[in-house]
């Protein structure tokens, strides 16, 4: 049937075929849509890896890109611990974890309560994690948590410590969590491939110039500068990988960072000179080329490809050190203020309870006198 129709169209033209032009326009339109969908769908991760016995901490793992990353890691057998602001007994978290375990066939999926908008909550979890002997295994930390208010919004939300919400969740929480977990990461065996994966977005290119006096407007670039500074200062096997997150299949780049064998930080140090790298690589163009791009000592990925860093501040050691010191001072100050506030609230509650007990005793004494 199709051959006679095609022959008729070839000899007598499309006008001889009923609805020929309509069918052709529809076919061309569908082909264009399919091509655009394929093009804008983003790159696909071609790296794969067996993740059995790997222990992975994930923030922002209950929705969006983070949820996709959690699912893919769980399918490959990783033990995934999702850090969420909700209690593990929350009905949503319980159902979500059970659904993940059922769909992936992996029972090693758990949730821990960590409110990234609270420095105190982060410290409680991280301190509990490192307070263990022997050191708990930790192969990977994937930081996907993020918050963003609409550009038209005039309402500025603050955290319990009095910090701007976007600044704390998108940057300071990651800094605080990794700072406390650092001993656990460095104590891992030298042959263990430990990776820390940041997520950011390409808007860092157009972000305001790094200014510690105007924190809220430069969160994206501060995140990148901090990851670069951490990588330069590292003295262990961990490898920092920064991801440019797109809205289309953003998880693919993160999965590549998690599973690509060439990104292993085992045996690498950030203090190696380019000449030493060339000697180690045996003038291997792939290795030396990879070490020249991205964040020094780490890798910058976008659409599953390594990219050059396009902002000079990110590679500036002085800027990284200043941001690092500023962040530490701010955390110390806010934690002290929050601790004093908690102590005052506790004292107020104790006094209130004492007053209630005293009032209750007085009432009982009055009733006893009335009965007499």
How confident is the model over 142-177, as pLDDT tens digits?
Answer: 988 888 776 666 666 677 777 888 888 888 888 899
So what's the pLDDT on residue 6? 67
How confident is the model over 35-76, as pLDDT tens digits?
Answer: 887 777 777 777 788 888 899 999 988 888 888 889 989 999
**Residue 334 — pLDDT band, cuts 50, 70, 90?**
confident
So what's the pLDDT on residue 162? 77
Task: Tell me how far apart the alpha carbons of residues 43 and 33 are, in angstroms, rounded to a whole number.
Answer: 17
DSSP 272-301: --HHHHHHHHTS-HHHHHHHHSSSTTSEEE
Read off the pLDDT of each residue in 281-301 and give the average, rounded to a whole number: 46
Read off the pLDDT of each residue in 180-206 and give the average, rounded to a whole number: 83
So what's the pLDDT on residue 371? 67
- For the ranges 41-55, 97-111, 156-170, 317-331, the one whose mean pLDDT is highest: 97-111
* Among candidate residues 208, 229, 231, the one with its CA nearest the CA of residue 320: 229
So what's the pLDDT on residue 102? 94
Burial letters for 94-126: b for 16+ Cβ neighbours within 10 Å, e otherwise? eebbeebeeebebebbebebbbbbbbebbbebb
Residue appearing with tokens 């990925």: 301
Task: Tell me how far apart the alpha carbons of residues 263 and 286 are, in angstroms, rounded to a whole number.
Answer: 12
So what's the pLDDT on residue 196? 87
So what's the pLDDT on residue 57? 94
So what's the pLDDT on residue 236? 43
So what's the pLDDT on residue 270? 39
**CATH, domain range 55-327:** 3.40.50.720
**Residue 283 — pLDDT band, cuts 50, 70, 90?**
very low
Mean of pLDDT over the chain? 75
Alpha carbon separation from 181 to 118, 138, 188, 333 (Å, rounded): 16, 10, 11, 20
Domain ranges of the chain: 2-40, 55-327
Question: Is 7 or 249 the better-scoring residue by pLDDT?
Answer: 7
pTM score over 0.75: no
Burial class of 203 by CB neighbour count within 10 A (0 to 12, 13 to 18, 19+): exposed
């Amino acid at each position: 049937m199709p051959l006679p129709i095609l022959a008729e169209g070839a000899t007598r033209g499309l006008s001889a075929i009923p609805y020929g032009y309509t069918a052709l326009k529809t076919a061309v339109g569908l082909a264009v849509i399919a091509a655009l969908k394929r093009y804008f769908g983003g790159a696909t991760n071609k790296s794969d890896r067996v993740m059995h016995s790997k222990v992975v901490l994930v923030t922002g793992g209950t929705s969006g890109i983070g949820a996709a990353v959690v699912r893919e890691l769980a399918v490959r057998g990783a033990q995934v611990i999702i850090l969420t602001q909700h209690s593990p007994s929350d009905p949503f978290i319980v159902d979500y974890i059970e659904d993940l375990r059922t769909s992936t066939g992996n029972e090693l999926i758990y949730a821990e309560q960590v409110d990234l908008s609270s420095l105190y909550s982060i410290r409680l979890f991280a301190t509990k994690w490192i307070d263990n002997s022997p050191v708990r295994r930790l192969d990977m930390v994937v930081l996907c948590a993020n918050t963003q208010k609409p550009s038209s919004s005039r309402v500025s939300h603050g955290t319990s410590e009095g910090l701007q919400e976007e600044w704390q969740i998108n940057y300071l929480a990651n800094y605080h969590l990794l700072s406390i977990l650092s001993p656990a990461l460095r104590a891992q065996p030298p042959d263990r491939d430990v990776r820390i994966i940041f997520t950011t977005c390409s808007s860092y290119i157009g972000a305001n110039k790094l200014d510690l006096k105007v924190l809220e407007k430069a969160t994206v670039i501060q995140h990148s500068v901090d990851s670069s500074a951490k990588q330069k200062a590292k003295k262990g096997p961990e490898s920092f990988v920064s991801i440019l997150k797109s809205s289309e299949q953003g998880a693919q780049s993160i999965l590549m960072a998690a599973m690509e064998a060439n990104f292993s930080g085992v045996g690498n140090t950030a203090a190696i000179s380019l000449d030493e790298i060339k000697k180690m690589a045996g003038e291997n163009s792939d290795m030396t080329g990879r070490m020249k791009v991205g964040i020094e000592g780490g890798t910058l990925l976008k659409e599953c490809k390594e990219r050059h860093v396009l902002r000079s501040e990110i590679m500036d050691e002085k800027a990284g050190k200043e941001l690092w010191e500023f962040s530490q001072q701010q955390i110390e100050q806010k934690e002290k203020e929050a601790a004093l506030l908690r102590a005052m609230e506790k004292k107020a509650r104790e006094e209130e309870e004492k007053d209630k007990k005293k009032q209750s005793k007085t009432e009982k004494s009055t009733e006893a006198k009335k009965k007499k």
